[in-house]
Amino acid sequence: MSGKVIGVDLGTKRVKYYRKGDGIIFDQENCIAIENHNEIRAIGDEAAVMYGRTPATIKVVYPVTRGVIADVSAMELYFNSSFKDIYGKTRRAAGNNYIVALPTDITEVEKRAFPDLIMKSEVKPRNISLVDKPICVALAAGIEIMNAQGIMTVDIGADTTEIAVISLGGIVTSELLPIAGNKFDKSIISYIRDQCGLVIGKANAEELKKGIGGALSGKGLTMPVNGRDAFTGLPKRIDISSDMIYEAIKADLANITDDIKNILERVAPEISSDIIDTGIYVTGGSAQIADLDVLFGEATQLKINILNNPQDSVIAGLGKLIDDEDYMTLPYIYRQAGYYIKSANKNAKKN
């Protein structure tokens, strides 16, 4: 391949790029502030701060919803603008090769939206390849993924939790649940409104979750939060306990736990036996909820491995794949006509 190889993770919450030889070159909120319909006011972390604080002329958008591109034109603006920031001019990025990490359990049309976006963008790509996110997670966990050994990964991100079973470098089964960090934040907002009569914003709910949230009760922590009194309409500050946050997100965590158990019940006995030995690999930004390993461990009676720096697992695994020639047979080269198995496999065939 000529040109640089760039790994792309367009997450619901954050966008990350990895460039061969340089490591992670971009890591920002997947958020864009658009003024007068099509002018970029800000992208990334700068745009995220504007959320909920804009005048009528500025719209702040998260273009990816539930792991798929929901607002194509906003994502295009974001993509071009981010590469302009990295290269000074987008045309300097011309001729690079892109490998995009995608959720497995989405439709072909939803999948194609990712390479199509890069194809039509100002970065003028040479080749675009696609790889399943769980494969990246497994690489980040340091697993020898080409072995005939079943392993289970659980990636709890912002909008989705992707549960997958991998063996021989491929996905045996996977499921994308619409419950993750953003849903926890919503549950916290509802709980505090119903129980305390306080209306709080999304960012404050997230701060409470990160500060005192947990998968078990009895931590005995408190944290103040500002909001609007639901009855008087006036600004108000109250103390929230860790048990309240636990109560708020308990049902969401139970739903994820149930799905993990369901998938475990469905896999072949050979794979079950492998998973007993290795345990479950849990990652994604929301894997940082305190005591999640204890909750999952008690429910499944398996060892729970929470990855280090879980918010970076997909891009770190993509980086490993890009840096190691042996793994370069894993991505699928994208052609507009459909998906083809990487040409390293001589009988390149259409999926």
Ligand X SMILES: Nc1ncnc2c1ncn2[C@@H]1O[C@H](COP(=O)(O)OP(=O)(O)OP(=O)(O)O)[C@@H](O)[C@H]1O
**How far is Cα of residue 260 from the mean position of the Cα atoms in its chain?**
18
With tokens 């040409």, the residue in question is 343
H/E stretch holding 190 reads: helix 181-196
Contact with ligand X (CB under 6 A) among 63, 214, 285, 331: 285
Contact with ligand X (CB under 6 A) among 286, 296, 330, 331: 286
Positions touching Mg ion (CB under 5 A) are 11, 157
Stretch that binds ligand X, among 89-97, 177-185, 228-236, 328-336 (CB under 6 A): 177-185
294 token code pair: 């204890």
Cβ nearer to Mg ion, comparing 11 with 227 = 11
**Using CB distances below 5 to 8 A depending on partner kind, what does residue 153 bind out of Mg ion, ligand X, none?**
none
Any contact of residue 134 with ligand X (CB under 6 A)? no
Stretch 52-91 residues interacting with ligand X (CB under 6 A): 67
Any contact of residue 284 with ligand X (CB under 6 A)? yes
Stretch that binds ligand X, among 121-129, 174-182, 237-245, 299-307 (CB under 6 A): 174-182
Contact with ligand X (CB under 6 A) among 4, 126, 210, 228: 210
Taking CA atoms, 305 is separated from 16, 55, 193, in Å, by 23, 45, 35
192 token code pair: 């505090």
**Using CB distances below 5 to 8 A depending on partner kind, what does residue 274 bind out of Mg ion, ligand X, none?**
none
Burial (CB count within 10 angstroms: exposed 0-12, middle 13-18, buried 19+), residue 118:
buried
Biggest alpha carbon–alpha carbon distance for the chain: 70
User: Which residue's Cβ lies closest to Mg ion?
Assistant: 157
| Cβ 68 vs Cβ 106: under 8 Å | yes
By C-alpha distance, which of 250, 219, 224 is closest to 237? Answer: 224
Cβ nearer to Mg ion, comparing 97 with 182 = 182
Any contact of residue 206 with ligand X (CB under 6 A)? yes
Give the DSSP letter of residue 217. Answer: S
Stretch that binds ligand X, among 42-50, 208-216, 223-231, 250-258 (CB under 6 A): 208-216
Distance CA(179)–CA(145), nearest Å, equals: 27
Task: State the residues that interact with ligand X by CB under 6 A.
Answer: 11-14, 67, 157-160, 180-182, 206, 209-210, 213, 284-286, 288-289, 311
